Amino acid sequence: MQHTSPGAPCWIELVTPDRDRAVAFYGSLFGWTAGEESEEFGGYSMFLKDDKPVAGLMPEVPELTGPPTWSVSLATPDAEKTAARAVEHGGSVVVPPMEIADLGTMVVVTDSSGMGHAGWQADTFRGIDTSEQVGEPIWFEAYSQAFATTRDFLRDVFDWRIQMQGDSDEFRYATNGPQETATAGLMDATMFGEGFQPTWTFYVKVDDMDATVAKVEELGGTVLQGPDDTPYGVLTAVADPNGQAFKVMVPPRAP
């Protein structure tokens, strides 16, 4: 399944200071394999799961990539319009629409709180291709310290169909679409304190959380939070050996 509806997360990318270590970690943990590095694109390659693209992989180049991190891109039918809308709705354009060969066009914008959001207008490359199997990314989430600002920005700039799943100080959460068919979520991160940095993250499906946590630590990674048993499954925040964070989840069993 490809994630091409407007506003749906369609690609994730890892910028890493140690490519070989990252390849070994994600390969052992999820069965991802790394494709060949492209000299044309600065050493960029793709992670594949069962020969399907699941993520991008880029060695850190300070003047080009910025600091190491995982990022999430949202599908847009028109990167130029996304950039214009971002400015119209109080944000700014960090990376103007940029064509990447015949693959598509990328754009990076911020909302008025300063939180960054990447967009991808597909041409020959449509992005992630998953079927919600173990080892694949199955959920995507934004954490904002300015919830209402980010919620409205995603609605007005990336065409999110906002559905509030909770609206209290203890739990404020919105999804892009109804819960049953939602493509991503937005969490109010004020509960984490002023020092928390707004971010996008993703969850990879696993079938045994205890074994996954043990494997993360065996491979040199770190458990940051959890495991937490929630109505949405068992969730754990982890980091790879280079310090780049993401999440793993065991979804609830079907009734």
In this predicted structure, the answer to whether residue 1 has a pLDDT above a threshold of 60 is: no
Beta bridge partners of 205: 249
pLDDT in tens, 156-202: 999 999 999 999 988 999 999 998 899 999 999 998 888 899 999 99
240 by DSSP, 3-state: which?
coil
Q: How many helices (H) and strands (E) does the chain have?
A: 5, 16
Question: Residue 182 phi/psi, 5° resolution?
Answer: -60, 150
- Which residue's structure tokens are 């007005």? 156
Nearest to 116 by CA among 139, 88, 146, 138: 146
Distance, in Å, from the CA atom of 18 to the CA atom of 80, rounded to the nearest integer, reads: 34
* Domain assignments of the chain as residue spans, ordered by start: 9-122, 137-250
21 by DSSP, 3-state: which?
helix
pLDDT in tens, 228-255: 999 889 999 999 999 999 999 999 876 5
* pLDDT at position 41: 79
Higher model confidence: residue 140 or residue 179? 140
Q: Can you tell me the mean pLDDT for 120-145?
A: 94
User: What confidence category does residue 100 fall into, taking pLDDT thresholds of 50, 70 and 90?
Assistant: very high
- Which amino acid, residue 118? A
| Topology match between the domains 9-122 and 137-250 | yes
Distance, in Å, from the CA atom of 51 to the CA atom of 85, rounded to the nearest integer, reads: 36
Q: Can you tell me the mean pLDDT for 98-115?
A: 96
User: What confidence category does residue 72 fall into, taking pLDDT thresholds of 50, 70 and 90?
Assistant: very high
- Which residue's structure tokens are 């996008």? 200
How far is residue 91 CA from its own chain's centroid?
20
Q: What homologous superfamily does CATH list for 9-122?
A: 2,3-Dihydroxybiphenyl 1,2-Dioxygenase, domain 1 (3.10.180.10)
Spatial CB neighbours of 230, under 8 Å, sequence gap ≥ 6: none
- Which amino acid, residue 109? V
Beta bridge partners of 238: 223, 246
In this predicted structure, the answer to whether residue 2 has a pLDDT above a threshold of 70 is: no
Q: How far is CA 200 from CA 1, 69, 183, 224, 245, in A?
A: 21, 10, 13, 16, 10
Distance, in Å, from the CA atom of 57 to the CA atom of 43, rounded to the nearest integer, reads: 8
Percent of the chain past pLDDT 90, that is, above it, reads: 84
Percent of the chain past pLDDT 70, that is, above it, reads: 98
Beta bridge partners of 58: 15
In this predicted structure, the answer to whether residue 101 has a pLDDT above a threshold of 80 is: yes
* pLDDT at position 254: 62
User: What confidence category does residue 129 fall into, taking pLDDT thresholds of 50, 70 and 90?
Assistant: confident
In this predicted structure, the answer to whether residue 206 has a pLDDT above a threshold of 80 is: yes
Q: Can you tell me the mean pLDDT for 103-132?
A: 95
CATH architecture of the domain with range 137-250: Roll (3.10)
Question: What value does the mean pLDDT of the chain take?
Answer: 94
Q: Can you tell me the mean pLDDT for 129-153?
A: 95
In this predicted structure, the answer to whether residue 28 has a pLDDT above a threshold of 60 is: yes
* pLDDT at position 8: 96
* pLDDT at position 31: 97
